[in-house]
């Protein structure tokens, strides 16, 4: 510990990292603590962060504007891959590598001896942060207080904060573990730890990015999304950059109860964990992108892409963003997206997304071929196809019946 003179702390201003500044100074011989916050769209959660960090013992606070990079280099590549993890749209998972990458840059710039984070020893984020650190600073020491400290519950952390006069925005009754960024908001802990409990969707303040389907309007909200090579570029005819697109879709989706997910997921460390996720804009983008691909991708490519999308999602969830395989899968996805250009119209209604029509100049759908009416398609072609396609089945049956 005597070798640790300067620590860069991944700082969100939440419960864990708020108590870590004084805790690190107490346990590492009054070391200098430099706090770093990555702005990935947390909004008001960043308000007053510098004053709080300095008052609790940090020597300085960096707030890094990462929003556009987050959307363009992490969210959109994952969207193009169609990647999910057990229906989870990876909101926390793909935010960690970009934050960790930039924290390493600050640590190197400041000549830090170690990087500290507030991830628990039970979760996925510890892996995501530390694998990213290994990718850019393989010899950097990592301090993870949750693995060793005496504050082994959130109640004890709150008591520590109260004793050290650290201001918190939560109390013991609202002590959900949350993570928020431009893409999503996650909720874990308290009553959600029992999977038999229904989430308190109707309770004021539980949902923050929108409302429950029951509270949504009684009228359909229509929107039209335009994509170019798998990337959303315009909403209702208005061209906008990625971050603004997500913000606007969050508003539209949120007010219509879109993108609420309650799942028990399989964590990387082996345990099951129950969480509620709000991803209103992301859910809309995934659904519109999926619909457009049904027009633009051939069967073999679509099926293989869906298969590899599972692998891509697992890589992101498991903290392996900065790996050769993830880069290779992104390259594959980019090739598949060359023709994923067109428009999709959706109707949003009380948590539902209704396909209201899609079109693309690269559409592989032919009304003339698919029609039940007259067409140039020769239906007699199917007889020879079935005979050849079914030949192995026919031969096996003949053999079993002693006819061959």
Sign of the four-CA dihedral 27, 28, 29, 31? negative
Active site residue 330: no
Angle between helices 95-110 and 125-136 (to 10 degrees): 50
Tokens of 113: 């001896």
Query: Within its chain, how far is the Cα of 249 from the centroid?
Result: 15
Which of 16, 39, 113, 179 is labelled catalytic? 16
For 41-54, letters b (16+ CB in 10 Å) and e give bbeebeeebbebbe
Please say whether the beta carbons of 229 and 340 come within 8 A: yes
- Among the listed residues 12, 18, 37, 177, the single catalytic one is 177
* Closest-CA residue to 43 (of 291, 254, 240): 254
Distance in angstroms (rounded) separating the CA atoms of residues 8 and 49? 16
- Cα 348 to Cα 10: distance, rounded to the nearest angstrom: 38
From 12, 37, 96, 186, active-site residue? 96
Q: Is 65 a catalytic residue?
A: no
96 belongs to the catalytic site: yes
Per DSSP, what are the bridge partners of residue 64? 38
Between CA 183 and CA 41 the distance in angstroms is 8
Max CA separation in the chain (angstroms): 89
Instruction: Point out the catalytic residue in the list 39, 113, 125, 179.
Output: 125
Radius of gyration of the chain (CA): 25
CB contact set of 99 (below 8 Å; sequence gap of 6+): 10, 38, 40, 66, 129
Q: Assess whether 177 carries a catalytic annotation.
A: yes
The residues annotated with a catalytic role in the active site are 16, 96, 125, 177
């Amino acid at each position: 510990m005597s070798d640790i003179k300067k620590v860069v702390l991944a700082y969100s201003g939440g419960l864990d990292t708020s108590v870590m500044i004084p805790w690190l100074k107490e346990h590492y011989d009054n070391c200098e603590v430099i706090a770093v916050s990555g702005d990935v769209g947390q909004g008001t959660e960043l308000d007053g962060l510098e004053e709080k960090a300095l008052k609790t013992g940090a020597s300085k606070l960096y707030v890094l504007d990462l929003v556009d990079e987050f959307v363009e280099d992490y969210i959109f590549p994952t969207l193009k891959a169609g990647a999910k993890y057990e229906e989870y749209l990876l909101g926390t998972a793909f935010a960690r590598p970009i934050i960790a990458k930039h924290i390493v840059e600050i640590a190197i710039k400041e000549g830090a001896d170690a990087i500290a984070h507030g991830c628990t020893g039970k979760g996925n984020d510890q892996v995501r942060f530390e694998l990213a650190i290994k990718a850019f600073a393989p010899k950097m020491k990592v301090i993870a207080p949750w693995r060793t400290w005496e504050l082994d519950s959130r109640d004890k952390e709150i008591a520590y904060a109260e004793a050290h006069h650290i201001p918190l925005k939560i109390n013991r009754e609202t002590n959900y573990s949350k993570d928020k960024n431009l893409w999503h908001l996650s909720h874990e802990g308290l009553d959600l730890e029992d999977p038999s409990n229904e989430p308190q969707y109707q309770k004021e303040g539980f949902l923050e990015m929108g409302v429950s389907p029951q509270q949504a309007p009684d009228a359909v909200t229509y929107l039209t999304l335009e994509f170019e090579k798998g990337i959303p570029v315009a909403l209702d005819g208005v061209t906008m950059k990625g971050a603004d697109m997500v913000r606007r879709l969050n508003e539209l989706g949120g007010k219509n109860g879109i993108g609420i997910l309650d799942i028990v997921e399989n964590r990387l460390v082996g345990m099951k964990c129950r969480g509620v996720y709000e991803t209103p804009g992301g859910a809309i983008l995934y659904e519109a992108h999926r619909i457009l691909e049904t027009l633009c991708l051939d069967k073999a490519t679509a099926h293989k892409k869906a298969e590899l999308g599972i692998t891509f999602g697992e890589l992101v969830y498991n903290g392996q963003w900065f790996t050769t395989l993830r880069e290779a899968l992104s390259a594959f996805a980019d090739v598949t997206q060359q023709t994923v250009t067109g428009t999709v119209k959706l109707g949003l209604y009380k948590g539902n997304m209704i396909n209201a029509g899609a079109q693309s100049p690269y559409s592989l759908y032919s009304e003339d071929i698919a029609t039940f009416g007259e067409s140039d398609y020769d239906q007699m072609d199917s007889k020879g196809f079935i005979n050849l396609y079914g030949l192995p089945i026919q031969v096996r049956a003949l053999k079993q019946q002693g006819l061959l």
